[in-house]
Structure 1
Amino acid sequence: MEVMQVLHMNKGNGDTSYAKNSTVQREIISFGKAIIEEALLQLSGNNDIESMGIADLGCSSGPNTLSVISEIMEVVRAACGHLGRPVPEFRLFLNDLYSNDFNYLFMSLPPFYKRLKEEKGIGVASHCFISGVPGSFYGRLFPTNLLHFVYSFSSLHWLSQVPVGLESHALEHLNKGKVYISKSSPQSVLDAYSSQFQADFSAFIESRSQELVPGGRMVLSFLGRRSIDPAADEGCYQWELLAEALMSLVKEGLIEEEKVDSFNTPYYAPSAEEIKAEIEKEGSFLIDRLQAFEVDWDGGVVTDIHTEQGKALIGERVAKTVRAVVESMLESHFQIGQHTIDVLFLKFAEIVGNYLSQTRTKYINFVISLVKKT
């Protein structure tokens, strides 16, 4: 599976699209806004910037993307007003993989600019320059010292590739019946995932160290785990339930068991210790803040899950959220059509609803604020 080609959120604005099913990501952004504001205030307070380079890495294409841009511009505008400085130009770079739905994103820009003019005035809108930058953030994307502020939300838990040795074409399938780390996975699977994260996150940090100006800021937010155990429920159990749904389709003859055995998702939920280790090893950044917080699997929308209706509703919401993210990978690997995908996520919704009616496992999300050393 070539991750750069098949990993993308569901496109458009339909019922199963990412644009309609990104409540969890919106909740994550809401937790990180205060830390973004803090970083921007320190950046604006310490520097008189005429033209501010800002990059959103892993921007996707839903409404969350432009809402963060609006927040950033407002924080900088207010800070400059307080300091008696002119508001800088905003050079905003939206990055994601080539397969991202940039068309939908760019079609959202005209109403965005219109809203800026109406709410903030034509001066602010005319000083905002937005462009798309397709490519993997696990390598260089920008010239040296171009950026002042970088942020990435809900993206860095995606790896650049399926870990070495776990690819679908491997001679031996080491993680049979599973799609990610589980309590039954052999140690070799855990080691492969850990090694891939270390290589990827190190490459990400090194690339940004060259692209950010000295004193530049970076805020990263992605899923992880508090436990040192990679197989802890908080880091992997949603994948355990998806594997269960896939195996139910195997029993019904809708997909082949070998296809499940050969599929491993390019995802990793690291611990805080793993994150710190790679940042400190690279050496270009100081960790200003590292916080963990919990997020409900459905974004906290469904409150009463102990009734049959509530159980069904939360299962459906979680299934739609996960489908919007992983459908492209599943279609590519399993070579299945729309009907089978529909059946899979109906099964998954039922399994998730039953599980969450008994225990409320939550996602763990990290927010890390970094400063490039001067």
Structure 2
Amino acid sequence: MAMNKHFHMSKGEGELSYSRNSSIQETVWLMNKQLLESVLESLFKVSYGVDKICNIVDLGCGVGPVPLALVSLVSNVIKGKLKELECDESCDEVGFKCQIYMNDLPSNDFSKLFKDLMSLEGLQTKYDGNPLCFFMGAPGSYYDRLFHHNTLDFVHANYALHWLSQVPAGLWNEHGVPINKGNVYMSETSSKAVGNAYWTQFENDFTKFLKNRSEEVVPNGCMLITLLGRPNDSDFFTWRTVELKIINQSLIALISEGLVKEEKLDNFNFPAYHPSMDQLESVVKKEGSFLIEEKRIVIHDSASEIKNKHERAQVLAKSTYALSESLISHHFGDQILQPFFDKLVYFAFQHLDLGYLAQNHSLTILLRKI
């Protein structure tokens, strides 16, 4: 399945929408806020009299609190710079303006996104009658070229690049028979070929991403990328996120209830890959367009602030549903969405009740174009 045709986070503002169930992504973003703020401040260190337009893109922006928080932070950094320079609307000229591109697949809920952006307080600050920040939608896959040569000053991507451009082709043999039966991702029962297929797809996708951004980012421009990763390379098959675990368990349970056919599950594979930091570094070094200036791994237990296991299971199930609904609906049909969600809640609670953690490993790298 090609992701650009069917994939999107759950739309709208309902109880199971992504906009209301992306608190885990927001938590990760907040952990990197200080680093991001430092990068943004360095972008706006320009002199008066220079008609500087700073071009920023949020790749895989989605909807919800994260893109709104990014835009608010950019706006606040600009206002802080103006205050530092003692600029107001009486100044003859301001030395910089900012253009922010919001990128995601065309199926993203851009209507919701821009409605939320326009409602943000403090974004109406103007200079000489014009906003300091201009916003544009940039639909398309971030694995393709999206912008003109040497136009982007800063690229931001939060919890986006672990999504692959497609389901790895190597998950079927030469006769079209699935080789990862009963699994939606790599597991202890998967063959080495399954792991190789996932790694090859990620390596190709991330290399393509870096090559295209190297064309678009200005010399010395930078990218701050955070994605869902794995602890290390030694647990290649044994490590799975709690989200992938309960998705797999839920679909198997629906087979036993006759709501899903076994062959449908055998042909369903989750189009994501969670690399280790060593794997990320190896691709960056091999592609050769960027240097890693900073790297960090943050381990966090999802929704750990909620002590009631039933309530926490609901949060984990809703966030899992919000990111997987379009994939499940496309492959299995809309009729299983409600029982699928019910199973997610059940298995999320079982996971927590057995004393297991709901840990995620977030990898962040700050890249600068050579």
TM-score computed with the length of structure 2 as normaliser = 0.91
Are 1:95 and 2:103 counterparts?
A: yes
Are 1:255 and 2:260 counterparts?
A: yes
Are 1:197 and 2:202 counterparts?
A: yes
* Alignment-derived partner of residue 231 in structure 1: 237
Q: What SS class does the counterpart of residue 169 from structure 2 fall into?
A: coil
- What's the CA shift for 1:121? 5.7
Higher relative helix content: 1
- What's the CA shift for 1:169? 11
Distance 1:247 1:134 in 2: 35
* Alignment-derived partner of residue 311 in structure 1: 309
- From the superposition, tell whether residues 81 and 170 of structure 1 become closer, same or farther in structure 2 (CA, over 3 Å): farther
Structure 1 unmatched runs, 5+: 305-309
Give deviations 1:3-35, integer Å, cap 9, x for gaps: 112210011101110011111011011011111
Are 1:50 and 2:72 counterparts?
A: no
Q: What SS class does the counterpart of residue 19 from structure 1 fall into?
A: helix
Q: What SS class does the counterpart of residue 208 from structure 1 fall into?
A: helix
Distance 2:261 2:221 in 1: 50
Distance 2:286 2:155 in 1: 20
Question: Higher mean Cα deviation, 99-108 or 71-80?
Answer: 71-80
* Alignment-derived partner of residue 206 in structure 1: 211
* Alignment-derived partner of residue 23 in structure 1: 23
Distance 2:130 2:9 in 1: 29
Distance 2:118 2:82 in 1: 26
Give deviations 1:299-337, integer Å, cap 9, x for gaps: x341x2xxxxx2211111101001011001001001242
* Alignment-derived partner of residue 276 in structure 1: 281
* Alignment-derived partner of residue 326 in structure 2: 328
- What's the CA shift for 1:53? 0.4
Where does 1:127-276 land on structure 2 (aligned, <5 Å)? 127-166=132-171, 171-228=176-233, 229-233=235-239, 235-276=240-281
- What's the CA shift for 1:256? 0.3
Amino acid at match of 1:90: C
Contact 1:116–1:122, Cα closer than 8 Å, also in 2: no
* Alignment-derived partner of residue 348 in structure 2: 352
Distance 1:148 1:53 in 2: 5
Amino acid at match of 2:368: V
Amino acid at match of 1:96: D
* Alignment-derived partner of residue 116 in structure 1: 123
Contact 1:159–1:267, Cα closer than 8 Å, also in 2: yes
- What's the CA shift for 1:156? 0.4
Contact 1:37–1:75, Cα closer than 8 Å, also in 2: yes
- From the superposition, tell whether residues 356 and 109 of structure 1 become closer, same or farther in structure 2 (CA, over 3 Å): same
* Alignment-derived partner of residue 341 in structure 1: 337
Give deviations 1:95-135, integer Å, cap 9, x for gaps: 000111111112223323x6423xx5666971211010110
- Using the aligned pairs only, state the percent identity: 34
Question: Higher mean Cα deviation, 21-30 or 165-174?
Answer: 165-174
- What's the CA shift for 1:79? 4.2
- From the superposition, tell whether residues 170 and 251 of structure 1 become closer, same or farther in structure 2 (CA, over 3 Å): farther
Question: Higher mean Cα deviation, 41-50 or 243-252?
Answer: 41-50
- From the superposition, tell whether residues 125 and 296 of structure 1 become closer, same or farther in structure 2 (CA, over 3 Å): farther
Contact 1:140–1:208, Cα closer than 8 Å, also in 2: yes
Amino acid at match of 2:30: S
- From the superposition, tell whether residues 242 and 83 of structure 1 become closer, same or farther in structure 2 (CA, over 3 Å): same
Question: Higher mean Cα deviation, 168-177 or 56-65?
Answer: 168-177
- What's the CA shift for 1:240? 2.5
Amino acid at match of 1:28: V
Contact 1:35–1:369, Cα closer than 8 Å, also in 2: no
Amino acid at match of 2:322: A
Aligned pair count? Answer: 360
Distance 2:222 2:85 in 1: 19
- What's the CA shift for 1:2? 2.7
Distance 2:249 2:158 in 1: 28
Structure 2 unmatched runs, 5+: 88-93
Q: What SS class does the counterpart of residue 165 from structure 1 fall into?
A: helix
* Alignment-derived partner of residue 307 in structure 1: none
* Alignment-derived partner of residue 287 in structure 1: 292
* Alignment-derived partner of residue 66 in structure 1: 68
- What's the CA shift for 1:367? 1.2
Question: Higher mean Cα deviation, 315-324 or 78-87?
Answer: 78-87
Contact 2:198–2:273, Cα closer than 8 Å, also in 1: yes
Question: Higher mean Cα deviation, 124-133 or 38-47?
Answer: 38-47
Give deviations 1:135-170, integer Å, cap 9, x for gaps: 000011000011101100010010000001226997
- From the superposition, tell whether residues 168 and 296 of structure 1 become closer, same or farther in structure 2 (CA, over 3 Å): farther
